[in-house]
Amino acid sequence: MPTDLNYHHLYYFWVCARAGRVTAAAQELHLSQSALSLQLKSLERSLGRALLDRTRSGLELTAGGRVVFEHCEKIFAHGAALSAALRAGAGARPTEVRLGVSSALGSEAALTFIDRLTAIPNAAVTVYVGPRDDIRERLARRRLDVAVLGVDLTAQLGAGFRARRVGTLPIQFVAAPALAESLGGFPRSGQEAPMLFRTQDYAPRREVERWLRERGVKPVTVAESEDTDLLQTLARRGRGVAALHKTAAARDLASGALVRVGPASTGLQHEVWVITPSAESVDPVLRAAAAAALRP
């Protein structure tokens, strides 16, 4: 990066990229929209490339913008962690970071985010795992600092929250070895298969059913649940075929408790969203936690 890079401008860009709109970022930064736009243009000139595209739906990162944004995530997370470490060295009490994880993600995926947050100096992480509606209520009441879910809830939460899709997890079909063998190949046209489904309000549920229909499979619903760990347990016991994202099934596949049925790549995806309050916390530990959770 250029030696004359203005880190204030870099911070303004980072806030804009996370907010998704110049208006929201300007309010957060206590700047006018015109002043903020000038700062962004100055940064783009110094870097010699466009970073943001203005669209009807908001701001979108250009290819160069994505590179800069990834560096910003690290820069400002490290800066917040440095402040936290200095405070900790001065005898400051650990800051509680309240993490909420949707049970639809499962414990294995939740551990990824727990590991990110516990690596932050002077952070004491408490975790709540529960249904999506409970996570939404806790966010609305400001009882969570960071939430990880499979869907963007900001439209339901209203103003004061930001969301970012941090990635997707491939979905595959898994079953206990004995059941997989009894199916004699999956998927097969005309085949009846016992299925362990997500609930109807789970977006990929419709895609899973469509995938089965297109291949002529006749699903027989054995159980429905939002809880990934419960579906995984039922699958291990041979109750049915479950459509689980790769992270959730990884340990059972490695141990042989479950085996993959059907193709390795189904084209089905489970989205992962992180939601945080939009106002920047004055506590550097909370800022670092939010940045860490938003990291892809």
Domain match, 64 and 204 both: no
Domain match, 147 and 281 both: yes
* pLDDT tens for the 296 residues of the chain, in order: 444 678 888 888 988 887 788 888 888 788 888 989 999 999 998 888 899 988 877 788 888 888 888 788 777 766 766 666 665 555 556 778 888 999 888 888 888 888 888 888 778 888 888 888 899 888 888 888 889 988 888 888 877 788 888 888 899 999 999 999 999 889 999 999 999 998 887 878 899 999 999 999 999 999 999 888 999 999 999 999 999 988 888 889 999 999 999 998 999 998 888 888 875 555 667 777 777 776 76
Contact 171, 263 (CB under 8 A): no
Domain match, 24 and 143 both: no
Domain match, 9 and 81 both: yes
Distance (Å, whole) CA 294 – CA 82: 18
Domain match, 117 and 231 both: no
Last residue of a domain, one of 42, 66, 91: 91
pLDDT at position 179, please?
95
Domain match, 251 and 225 both: yes
Domain match, 263 and 280 both: no
pLDDT at position 92, please?
58
Domain match, 113 and 193 both: no
Pairing of strands 146-149, 95-102: parallel
Distance between alpha carbon 244 and the CA centroid of its chain, in Å? Answer: 16
Domain match, 183 and 244 both: yes
Q: Total structural domains in the chain?
A: 3
Distance (Å, whole) CA 262 – CA 102: 27
In 3-state terms, what secondary structure has residue 106? coil
Q: Which domain holds residue 52?
A: 1-91
> Backbone phi, then psi, for 250, in 5-degree steps?
-55, -50
Domain match, 159 and 174 both: no
Contact 288, 88 (CB under 8 A): no
The alpha-helical segments, DSSP class H, found in 127-193 are: 132-140, 154-157, 177-183
pLDDT at position 1, please?
43
Number of other CB atoms surrounding residue 148 within 10 Å? 23
pLDDT at position 84, please?
60
Last residue of a domain, one of 91, 125, 144: 91
* Cis omega (within 30 of 0) for bond into 187: yes
In 3-state terms, what secondary structure has residue 273? strand
CATH number at residue 80: 1.10.10.10
Domain match, 6 and 74 both: yes
Distance (Å, whole) CA 260 – CA 248: 13
Last residue of a domain, one of 91, 114, 139: 91
CATH number at residue 224: 3.40.190.10
pLDDT at position 255, please?
93
Nearest in space to 274 (alpha carbons), one of 76, 21, 105? 105
> Backbone phi, then psi, for 183, in 5-degree steps?
-70, -25
Domain match, 263 and 147 both: no
Between the alpha carbon of residue 12 and those of residues 23, 24, 57, 80, 263, the distances in Å are 12, 12, 20, 16, 45
Number of other CB atoms surrounding residue 14 within 10 Å? 20
